Amino acid sequence: YDSNFRVLETGIRIGIPVLIEEVGELLDPTLGPIMLKQTFVQGGRLMIRLGDSDVEYDSNFRLYVTTKLANPHYLPEICIQVTLINFTVTPSGLEDQLLADVVRLERPDLESQRTELIVRINNDKGQLKAIEDKILRLLFASEGNILDDEELIETLNESKETSAIIGARVIEAEATEEKISSARERYRTVATRGSCLYFVVADLASIDPMYQFSLKYFNQVFATVITSSPPATELEARLHILLQEITLAIYTNVSR
């Protein structure tokens, strides 16, 4: 990466985020003072040591470091200097993702309704929160007896009516969402099988490094199977076909 740290130095000076990609398990010692935030004042300016020079430090500067290592082992002294965030996919997370994919391909109407409902429910809940905040502001700003404040009373009545309408709409939408979720859950077995197969294939790399398959590639195979597998008139029969076809497709692609 930036071997001379010119980009990093610029980011430190002007206070912009810098991203260092594809690092290994050992970090350049030059980054040590930055990760430890070893700043000092010199001539009334906040400074930090970068290599052989002192650089003016802007407090808005942020350093982000990423790695492509699936299971990196960083030394404890590095771990305490940074905030580690693991973006590696989990079995349950992948299962939910594959469930959305299979429903989108098999029942696009369900997935579309679900997306619209989520947006609508969130918007309605946002409106309810805004109404509550408005009422609190009016009550806080009111002086004297609130019963004598006609504008406040009128606003409270309007807000109450609006809240009741939106509240009923939210309850109805959530009930509809529950029905849609129940229909989606019928495809859960396909998503579970897909997630299980992915992690089985991923573990093959520990046996032989030649077995390297990206999640993107796996998703492509998964989607292709769903769109190209033989149809069925009954859902149970269709699910059985998908389970068999997905298992066969993954085995065929891996064993080439």
The per-residue pLDDT for range 177-204, each reduced to its tens digit, is 888 889 999 999 999 999 999 999 999 9
Question: What percentage of the chain has pLDDT greater than the value 70?
Answer: 98
Report field, pTM of the whole predicted structure over 0.85: no
Asked if 224 and 241 count as a contact pair (C-beta separation under 8 A), the reply is no
Please name the residue that has the structure tokens 């502001």.
137
Quote the tokens at residue 11: 């980011």
The SS3 of residue 203 is helix
Q: Torsion over CA of 53, 56, 60 and 61, rounded to 10 degrees?
A: -10
Model confidence pLDDT, tens digit, residues 61-115: 999 999 988 778 888 888 888 888 888 889 999 999 999 999 999 998 888 888 8
184: left (phi over 0), alpha (psi -120 to 50) or beta: alpha
Higher pLDDT, 212 or 237: 237
Residue 1 pLDDT > 60, yes or no?
A: no
Q: Are 31 and 75 in contact (CB under 8 A)?
A: no
Query: Given this model, what pLDDT does residue 81 score?
Result: 86
Domain ranges in the chain are 6-79, 109-185, 188-254
155, exposed or middle or buried, with CB in 10 Å at 0-12, 13-18, 19+? middle
Average pLDDT for 113-121: 85
> Residues 206, 153: contact at Cβ < 8 Å?
no
User: Alpha-carbon distance 60 to 228, whole Å?
Assistant: 51
Give the 3-state secondary structure of residue 248: helix
> Is the pLDDT confidence value at 4 over 70?
no
Residue 2 pLDDT class (50, 70, 90 cuts): low
Fold of 6-79: Rossmann fold (3.40.50)
- In DSSP notation, 95-151 reads HHHHHHHHHHHH-HHHHHHHHHHHHHHHHHHHHHHHHHHHHHHHHHH--S-GGG-HH
